[in-house]
Amino acid sequence: MPALATTFIWSSASGGDWTAPANWSQTSLTNGDTFDLRSALAATTWDQQLSDLGNYLTIGTQGSNALVQISTVSGGTPITVAILNGAGSVSLNTFISHALLT
């Protein structure tokens, strides 16, 4: 039986503060899951231009984990909103191909 795809939704609290990062496995990138960042990005100053997205959304790496990070202002200090356990290095383009942004 195939795995069912899931949509993970990140919303923001008042002032753009997020709770502790969510933890998911690396299979989230290969089984059709979707990451809904619309509410989280709406709490930033992002102008919805894909060319500017990298100033707000970054994918870092810590050990074998990918860190999904959002800054509330362009180039600001990123906040880790999710950890993809075991995913290793993930490019921004790979991640956004699984994401809802606007």
Measured CA to CA, the distance from residue 81 to residue 70 in angstroms comes to: 7
Task: Write down the pTM of the prediction.
Answer: 0.81
What is the per-residue pLDDT across 30-77, written as a single tens digit (0 to 9) for each? 777 888 889 889 989 999 999 999 999 999 999 999 999 999 999 999
Average pLDDT in the 91-95 region? 94
Burial class (CB in 10 A: 0-12, 13-18, 19+), 72: buried
Q: Nearest CA to 62 among 15, 96, 21? A: 21
